[in-house]
Structure 1
Amino acid sequence: MPLNRVVTWLREGYPTGVPRQDYVALLALLRRRLTDDEVAAIAAELAQEGMLPDTADIAVSITRVTDEVPSESDIDRVRDHLAFRGFPT
């Protein structure tokens, strides 16, 4: 899956930025389809655009995904949000 396509979906799906409560679930969903390096690259690009917090917060969030499983309700909420925009979750 081309990374620019993922970034485009995320821009469309979250036109005002990703809500803080969705970061961990979003990263967890992305990690199901992408490598850690790809997730980090996407997160860095979105952070540069102001859609995510700065890269230090992103690094913490990626670490949290590997150490903490988001709740099913968080995953479902983010999956539904992305699916509405055609993102294959």
Structure 2
Amino acid sequence: MPPFLNAIIDWLRAGYPDGVPEADYIPLLALLRRRLSDEEVRALAAELAGTGDLPADSTDIQVMITKVTNEMPSEDDVTRVRTRLAAHAWPDPESPE
């Protein structure tokens, strides 16, 4: 896995030390998709699932990614996840790079 994806995994583990709660799956993947390609999101999700940080198998991950593309999370969900991740120095996907 490329070093920048490993850095993202480390950052996600810092933001979610007890794993990602189910209510945050879709908003988290939606935020990540604003910065990463679909393939990068799949690689991250597979790694997190493999280590138990994201309690899902590969089929669940594919379903979650499909949901992100077909069903946007609520603004409250996005704000909750964005706030949690910003506390660990992740750049806001809404801000210019």
* TM-score normalised per structure 1: 0.96
Structure 2 residue 83 is matched with structure 1 residue 74 = no
Q: How large is the Cα RMSD of the aligned pairs?
A: 1.1
For the residues of structure 2 that align with 1:63 and 1:21, how far apart are their CA atoms? Answer: 16
Q: How many pairs align?
A: 89
- Report the CA distance between 1:56 and its aligned residue: 1.2
| Matched position secondary structure for 1:2 | helix
1:57 corresponds to: 60
Question: Runs in 1 of length 4+ with deviation above 4 angstroms?
Answer: none
| Matched position secondary structure for 1:15 | coil
Deviation string, structure 1 residues 40-86 (Cα, Å, up to 9, x no partner): 00000000010111121111000000000100000000000000011
1:7 corresponds to: 9
Unmatched 5+ residue regions in structure 2?
Answer: 93-97
1:21 corresponds to: 23
For the residues of structure 2 that align with 1:88 and 1:4, how far apart are their CA atoms? Answer: 16
Stretch of structure 1 that moved more, 1-10 or 35-44: 1-10
1:85 corresponds to: 88
Stretch of structure 1 that moved more, 74-83 or 53-62: 53-62
Identity within the alignment, %: 58
